[in-house]
Amino acid sequence: MKAPPPLFLGLDSSTQSLSAVVIDLDHGRVVYEKSLNFDQSLPQFGTQNGVLPNKNPLVRHGNPLLWVAALDLIFAAMKQDGVALARIVSISGSGQQHGSVYLNNQAAKTLAQLDPRRDLQSQLRGIFSRCTAPIWMDSSTTRECGEIREKLGGLQKMIEATGSDAFERFTGPQIRKFYRTSPSSYAGTRHIALVSSFMASVLSGRLAPIDYGDGAGMNLMDIRRRQWHAQALRATAPGLARLLPDLAPAGTVIGRISPYFASKYGVNPEAFSCVWTGDNPASVVGLGLIQPGQAAISLGTSDTLFGTLQECRTDANGGGHLFGSPAGGYMSLICFKNGSLAREHVRKQFGLKDWATFARQVDRAPIGNHGAILLPWFEPEIVPRVLKAGPRRIDLDENNPPANCRAIFEGQALAMRLHSGWMKITPKTLLATGGGANDRTLLQIMANVFKCKVQRIEVSKSAALGAALQAAYGFLKARGKSPSWPKLVRPFSKPMPNTCFLPNPKAMVIYDQMIQKYAACELAALA
C-alpha cells in the first residue's frame, strides 16, 4: 500500500487572529484551514481587534503571551479536528510585519526546555524584558524617525540604505523609542525578535533568525547586501547589533520542531521548523506572484499594490517599500490608507443602500468624469503623506452623486498608478483580491487606468498559504532537491473564472490625459 502523502503546515499570526493552512503538495490542494480570532478565543487578554487598549491613540501594542496561548489553541484544534499531524514534515509561518518582541536572558534556556505537561503561556511568562510588543499600527515614534533619518544622512540615503524611509510603524524607530524611554528595560534585553521570528523560536525551541522580507521592514537591514546595516544599527540604539539574530532566507530549516509539540499534540517529531517571514511577503507567495513584473492589488480597509522585482529598486519619494521576497528577488509595496473606508464614506454621504446601487451611480457619469478630480484623503494618508484629513475636490460638485461615486473610484485608481511608477512594472495581468474586488465596476476602472487585464483571485488566507508553500520549499531544499517556485504555487493560485476585465482603448486614452491633471492637483494640494 502506498504511503499517504506528506503534509505541510503554514501559520499566520496576524493582528486579529492566528490562522493555519495545511497543504498536500503531491495533489496540489489545501486539506485544512482554521482561524482563531484573538478577541473571541482569548477574551481574558482584553484586546480589541487583537490590540491592547491605550489612552494614547498613537500607541498600539499587542501581548506576546496572547500569541503563544493562541498557538496552543490552534494545535489543540487541529488535533481535535483530526488533522494528520503525524504526517506534517515541515512548518513555517508569517507574522504581522514590524512588531517587535523583547526577550531577557532566560528566553533561550526556557524555549529549549518546554514541558508538554504545562501550557506555553505559563512557561513563557518570565522571558520578556518588555511585557508588551509595539505593532504595525503604532504611530508614536515620529521623533525617533526624524532622529534616525538625520543620522543616516537624510531621506534619500535612508531609502537607499534600507529600502524604505523611516516610518513610525517600522521596528527600528520603535526600538529607539524603547531605548530612550525605558533605558533600564532596554539594558535588560538580550534578544530582540519580530513577531515572525518570535513565533518561529517557540516552535523551534531555540532563538530563530529573521528573514530578509521581515528584516527589510525594520529600517535596519541593508536592502542590497541583505545583512544588518551597521550605521542604521548605531543610529537606532547602542549595542543593538548583539541583540539581533542572524538574517536568513524565509523557509530555511532551523531544526526539528520542539519536542513540546510532538509530545503534546502528536506532531511528527522529525518535522522541520523553518524560518518565518512577514505577512505581506508570505501573501506574495500565496497569491502566486513569483515572476518579476507580476503585480496585484488588495482592495480592503486599506488598498495595497504590490509586485515582484528581480532588481533592487526603491521609491525616491519615500512612499513605497521594498522587502525581500520568500521566492528570491524583492517585493515592492505601496499602502494607501484611504481604501474601503473612503469608498464607504462616499456611499453613506449619498445614502446609497448597497454597492450595486453605488455602481449604477458610477455608470451614470462618463469615463473621465468631465475632468473632475477627487483626492480621496478622508483619513490621513500614507501615500502621499497627508497629515490633515479631508478630501480635496477639483472641478467636482460635492452634491452630485454620480460624479462623486465615479470620482472616488477613478481617484483611487489614478493614485495607485501614479505612485507605483517607481516600480517600473508593466504587468500583462493585474491580480485583484480583497473585499473591494467584488465590485466589477471598480475592477473595470482599474483595467482602464492600468491599461492591462485585471483578473480577480480569491486565495483564502493567502499569508498562511504562502507560509505552507514556504515550508514545502524549505523541506525540499533541505532534502537536496531543486524546487521550482512557479511549479509549487501553480495549483494553489488559479484566478477565479468569469472575472476577467479587459481595458477599453478609448478609456485608456482618457486616463492617460487625466493622470497628468491628477498629479498636478495632488502637488498643488500638498504644497
Looking at CATH, the fold of the domain delimited by 288-458+497-527 is given as Nucleotidyltransferase; domain 5 (3.30.420)
Q: What is the pLDDT of residues 189-229, one digit of tens each?
A: 999 999 999 999 999 999 999 999 999 999 999 999 999 99
CA distance 152 to 236: 10
In this structure, which CATH number among 3.40.430.10, 3.30.420.40, 3.30.70.1140, 3.40.50.300 belongs to the domain 7-281?
Answer: 3.30.420.40
Pairing of strands 88-95, 7-13: parallel
- In order of 27, 176, 335, 443, 505, the CA distances from 319 in angstroms are 41, 22, 8, 24, 30
CB 88 within 8 A of CB 256: no
Beta strand pairing status for 191-194 and 100-103? antiparallel
Q: What is the DSSP letter of 154?
A: S
Written as one string, the DSSP assignment of 215-262 is: HGGGT-EETTTTEE-HHHHHHH-TTGGGGS--EE-TT-EEEEPPHHHH
Which residues of the chain, if any, have pLDDT below 70?
none
pLDDT for the residue 434: 84
Tally of CA atoms within 13 A in the half-sphere of 144 that contains its CB: 24
Select from 210, 286, 287 the least CA-distant residue to 246.
210
Which element (helix H / strand E) includes 302?
none
| 207, 201 contact by CB (below 8 A) | yes
CA gap 98, 171 in Å, rounded: 5
Q: Indicate if the alpha-carbon torsion angle 275, 278, 283, 285 is positive or negative.
A: negative
Contact 290, 308 (CB under 8 A): yes
Taking alpha carbons only, the member of 193, 209, 203, 222 closest to residue 96 is: 193
Q: For residue 421, what pLDDT is reported?
A: 93
pLDDT at 380: 85
Domain boundaries, the chain: 7-281, 288-458+497-527
> What's the pLDDT at 460?
72
